Amino acid sequence: MELPFAIAAVWLGLAVVSAIIAYHLRISIALVEICVGVATGAVAAAIGVTDRLGADGEWLRFLASSGAVLLTFLAGAELDPVVMRVKLREVLVVGVVGFIAPFLGCAALAHFVLGWGVQASWLAGIALSTTSMAVVYAVMLDTGLNKTDFGKGILGACFVNDLGTVLALGLIFAPFTYKTAVFATVTVVVLAALPAVTRGMTRIYGNRTAAIRTKWVVLVLFGLGALAQWSGSEAVLPAYLAGMVLAGRAAKDAHWMRRIRTLTIGFLTPFYFLRAGTLVSVTTVVSAPLIFGALFAGKVLSKVIGLYPVIGRFRQQRQERWYYTLLMSTGLTFGTISALYGLTHGVITQGQYSFLVAVVIASAVIPTAIATYRFLPSHLLEADEAVEIAATVEGGETDYDDLRDE
């Protein structure tokens, strides 16, 4: 029994080191955890102790998946329904272009330049078309942009982008079956009832039973996640939708949201981000750097070329346009999921998988680091802080979230 505790201690030790590094470098903890994971995996492989990390252990994979599910739920819950309605055109246009440009561009690159087969090329296009909701949301939390209309618009566009990825993976490689119909039907029914049931449980038991709302929401997320995986989909998709339907009053309890974030960011997501880093085979990537460079350039350039002019129609300020574009150029969750699907179903080889995962992880780190260091729209944060200060001065204990709802 001591082995799981020892392995968990190693991973949480890496998480603590990552947090210290992130503090001193002033960059997102998610990015540092990924990089620390890559370095740890490379060192473990060099000295022949990869198995001792326990990255493939079922319990550790469960914790990592739980972190991705809860982080995705939180990202959905941050979407302001009013902002989404106002920004519907922006979110749809940016999200659709953000998917189509790299999907077609990277598939063509893999087939015509790298000589990959047709199916492998389509899989590469899907894996590299994604944006990383997990990374983007983690960065939003670090910077405070998750509270701004600008940040909520980016999160909405990320959702549309990744929805296109999920649909493409399903249509091309995972034909719809009766399981898909069952999953879709149950999800619609559960999500339709979720806000009312959550409000009722909170009203009756919220102040009497310890953390019942957290237990209830996690129950729903895990139940829908299990159904999603049974149907051939992924658990993070219903988690995001659940967050969206609770993004109104039911999820605006600042103390409850803070507790969920503490559980998610403090304990679960380090396993997810660190493990994602250890999946990269550094030796494979180093042995053929031109392939890695071509795929990485294909993903990022297709995103930039497709998105920068489009985002310019909605954001005139240069810093905002570049920050928006670079965050939309990230990838992680659905990218690794798509690559793993291709590997387990024989669509791509182990080498192709390593390149795709390496590019996906690099895209989670490099564009986000550039965006944070060079193009962070700090003027939006200053304006948001001014509103918060005004609310405090005028209303004493006025809650900032309540002010924004008004």
Task: Give the domain CATH number at 368.
Answer: 1.20.1530.20
Whether residue 404 is predicted with pLDDT greater than 60 in this model: the reply is: no
Q: Is residue 127 one of the residues assigned to a domain?
A: yes
If 0-12 CB within 10 Å is exposed, 13-18 middle and 19+ buried, where does residue 396 land?
exposed
Name the one residue in this structure whose structure tokens are 């001792």: 52
Does the pTM of the predicted model rise above 0.85? no
**CB-CB contact of 5 with 13 (8 Å):** no
DSSP 18-76: HHHHHHHHTS-HHHHHHHHHHHHHHHHHHHT-GGGG-TT-HHHHHHHHHHHHHHHHHHH
Q: Is residue 402 one of the residues assigned to a domain?
A: no
Range of the domain at 20: 2-391
Tell me the pLDDT band of 97, cut-offs 50, 70 and 90: very high
More confident residue, 49 or 307: 307
Please give the average per-residue pLDDT across 187-191, as a whole number: 95
Torsion sign, CA atoms 295, 296, 301, 302 = positive
Angstrom distances, CA of residue 53 to CA of 6, 63, 78: 10, 14, 34
Q: Is residue 262 one of the residues assigned to a domain?
A: yes
Q: Is residue 264 one of the residues assigned to a domain?
A: yes
Tell me the pLDDT band of 121, cut-offs 50, 70 and 90: very high
Whether residue 254 is predicted with pLDDT greater than 80 in this model: the reply is: no
**CB-CB contact of 375 with 324 (8 Å):** no
Domains held by the chain: number: 1
pLDDT value of residue 396: 43
The whole-angstrom separation of Cα 169 and Cα 126 is: 7
| N-to-C CA span, the chain | 53
Q: What is the pLDDT of residues 287-323, one digit of tens each?
A: 889 999 999 999 999 999 999 999 999 998 999 999 9
CA 90 to chain centre: 20
Tell me the pLDDT band of 109, cut-offs 50, 70 and 90: very high
The Cα angle at residue 330 between residues 325 and 335, in degrees rounded to 5: 140
Q: What is the pLDDT of residues 326-354, one digit of tens each?
A: 999 998 878 887 887 888 788 999 889 88
Q: Is residue 88 one of the residues assigned to a domain?
A: yes
Measured from the Cβ of residue 39, the count of other Cβ atoms closer than 10 Å reads 14
Q: Is residue 213 one of the residues assigned to a domain?
A: yes
Please give the average per-residue pLDDT across 348-367, as a whole number: 89
How many residues in total does the chain contain? 406
Q: Is residue 324 one of the residues assigned to a domain?
A: yes
- For the chain, give the percent of residues with pLDDT over 70: 91
Q: Is residue 399 one of the residues assigned to a domain?
A: no
